[in-house]
Amino acid sequence: MGALRNMVDEKTTVADLRREVEKFVHERKWRKFHNPKDLAISICLEAAELLELFQWLSQREVWRLARNPVARSKIGEELADIQIYLLCLANVLNFDVSQLVAEKLQRDRERYPAENFKGRAPTSADEKR
């Protein structure tokens, strides 16, 4: 646990996180439960738990909530749950997460050139192009 406490973004690689998640799963013999469908469901369920924290709140109330230490801890816990299941799915399907993100960002750079989308969100008209 001591080593895990020192895991911060600036010093931790995606491979480090993948190993920690894999170790956690292996120690409990949970790999047999980790099929792609159930992991995808779990990602959605954890994302829903995050949404539940914000349900019915205005934008202003959500920002206030995010500054509250107790609520912030709950938000962080759901972010961690989502990340962990994402890493579990990448492990099971043997995807290189960094490569996936880099390739998708490149496709999105081409799809949404900064000069055309600076300060504006894509509309349905843009999606049809």
| DSSP single-letter state for residue 55 | T
To the nearest whole angstrom, how small is the minimum distance from the Cβ of residue 55 to Mg ion?
15
Among 39-47, 58-66, 97-105, 121-129, the segment contacting Mg ion (CB under 5 A):
39-47
Among 15-23, 75-83, 90-98, 106-114, the segment contacting Mg ion (CB under 5 A):
75-83
81 binds Mg ion (CB under 5 A): yes
The dihedral sign for the CA sequence 58, 64, 69, 73: positive
| CB of 20 or CB of 78, closer to Mg ion | 78
With CB under 5 A as the contact rule, the residue among 20, 22, 38, 49 that binds Mg ion is 49
Q: 9-47: buried (b, 16+ CB within 10 Å) or exposed (e) per residue?
A: eeeeeeeebbebbbeebeeeeeeeebeeeebeebbeebe
Residue whose tokens read 């496709």: 107
To the nearest whole angstrom, how small is the minimum distance from the Cβ of residue 77 to Mg ion?
6
To the nearest whole angstrom, how small is the minimum distance from the Cβ of residue 66 to Mg ion?
17
Give the DSSP H or E segment for 27: helix 14-27
Residues that bind Mg ion (CB under 5 A): 46, 49, 78, 81
